[in-house]
Amino acid sequence: MQRDIKNLPLRRSLFPGSMHESLIKYIESYTTTPLTEKEIDVVKNAFVLKKIRKKQYFLQEGQVCKYAAFIVKGAMRQYSVDDKGTEHIVGLLIENWWAVDRESYVMLTPSVYNIDAWEDTEMLVITKADFLNHLSSIPAINEMARKLDENYAIATQKRLNANISFSAEKRFADFANSHSEFLQRFPQHIIASYLGITKETLSRIRHQAVNK
């Protein structure tokens, strides 16, 4: 049985420097404005360590997404479930990716998605209120947020175009070229759902690619 994140305690890391180092590097990779030592301390205090086990929920459909999570270690997936009980994967997430339902997090509305851990996962989480109260005045954070929004919009547009215009073979080829590490972290049926094809089609495409 999957357990909900709300039933697990948030906790400060015993070694906050080591746990937050990857987040600090990530932020600085998206900004031309270096973080000051004081700002780094603010970031470390604002983000809280959270650990969840494989198959444990971070978010369930119908809940408001209260946290945005930066994945330090592990793998997660974001998906909806239709009336027939079929899962439709909309996001695959690994280290240095964010786990969040943007609409629910920003608008504080019930989510239509589930987000759970595909591997045991360690992440740094922050609420919208903490972000606004502690981080919104930091120039580097605002620059990062703008760039992430731009990248998200571009990636969403590209994926929509691929689903409408590309063959299954091209969708898989583009995915393999862009996210080859995902092929090692997620099973074939999840990759197929993310690409909007059947696992039988994906199996055929991969078999053909190996035999070329």
Assess if residue 159 is contained within a domain: no
DSSP string across 33-97? SPPPHHHHHHHHHHSEEEEE-TT-EEE-TTSB--EEEEEEES-EEEEEE-TTS-EEEEEEE-TT-
Element (H, E) at 135: none
What is the residue-averaged pLDDT of the chain? 91
Helix, strand, coil percentages (3-state) for the chain, rounded to 5, are 50, 20, 30
- CB of 89 closer than 8 Å to CB of 194: yes
Q: What is the pLDDT of residue 211?
A: 67
Query: Which one of 126, 152, 178 terminates a domain?
Result: 152
pLDDT digits (tens, 9 = 90+) for 139-177: 999 999 999 999 999 999 999 999 999 999 999 999 999
pLDDT digits (tens, 9 = 90+) for 92-143: 999 999 999 999 999 999 999 999 999 999 999 999 999 999 999 999 999 9
Domain tally for the chain?
2
Percent of the residues in the chain that have a pLDDT greater than 90, as a whole number: 87
Triad 146, 33, 72: Cα angle to 5°:
65
Query: Which one of 152, 180, 195 terminates a domain?
Result: 152
Q: Is 32 left (phi over 0), alpha (psi -120 to 50) or beta?
A: alpha
Is 185 found in the same domain as 105? no
Looking at this protein, which amino acid is placed at residue 200?
E
CA distance 71 to 98: 6
CA distance 149 to 157: 12
* Domain interval for residue 193: 166-212
Is 110 found in the same domain as 54? yes
Is 173 found in the same domain as 115? no
Task: Identify the band that residue 209 occupies on the pLDDT scale cut at 50, 70 and 90.
Answer: confident
Is 79 found in the same domain as 17? yes
CA distance 159 to 139: 30
pLDDT digits (tens, 9 = 90+) for 17-36: 568 999 999 999 999 999 99
Q: What is the pLDDT of residue 206?
A: 86
Is 208 found in the same domain as 105? no
Is 173 found in the same domain as 138? no
Q: What is the pLDDT of residue 3?
A: 47
Is 117 found in the same domain as 61? yes
Percent of the residues in the chain that have a pLDDT greater than 70, as a whole number: 90
Is 135 found in the same domain as 209? no
CATH number at residue 87: 2.60.120.10
Q: What is the pLDDT of residue 7?
A: 52
What integer is the mean pLDDT of 184-208? Answer: 93
CA distance 77 to 90: 8
Q: Which two tokens stand for residue 122?
A: 């360690």
